[in-house]
Amino acid sequence: MNKHKQELRGKKRIAEGIRLIVEEAKATGEEVGSNVNSLGMNIKQSLKGALAARNSVVMVRLNEESVAKLDELVDSGLVSSRSEAAAFLVGQGVKASDRIFSRISKKIAQIRDAKEELRKMLDDESLSE
């Protein structure tokens, strides 16, 4: 009998361990599902913002790898076309490169100021002749 009780206790411990694992797996699955849904909603909100005011048309040539990535976004249902996928990715790239674009804007402003200064200098030079 003693051996039988030990076997039952062992089986109960195994069953309890399995139950705990199953509960943890369910909880993890629910958490992952919730995170995936949240991520999907965040992406959709970002897409709506990125695609809201698309007034300009830009033609681009892409390599096959880039087109495959656009197609993945379309196939996922996050966007309805390659155009929307490209607009979203360009918008994300611009946001991610904000620091460099800020530096570029400052340099462009300096270049414009230098050009204006040169025009004024030429205008003043031609007036003095």
- Quick one: which of 85, 87, 91, 59 has its CA closest to 72? 85
Q: Are 84 and 50 in contact (CB under 8 A)?
A: no
Residue matched to tokens 């002749």 = 129
Quick one: pLDDT at residue 46? 65
| Cα four-point dihedral sign 56, 57, 60, 62 | positive
Which pTM was predicted?
A: 0.51
Walking along the chain (129 residues) 10 residues at a time, the average pLDDT comes out as 70 72 73 61 64 78 94 88 88 89 93 93 76
Structure tokens at 128: 């003095």
Quick one: pLDDT at residue 123? 84
Q: Which amino acid belongs to residue 52?
A: A
Specify the 3-state DSSP secondary structure of 129: coil
Segment 51-60 long-range contacts (CB within 8 Å, at least 24 positions apart): 51/79, 51/84, 51/87, 51/88, 54/87, 60/86
CA distance 73 to 81: 8
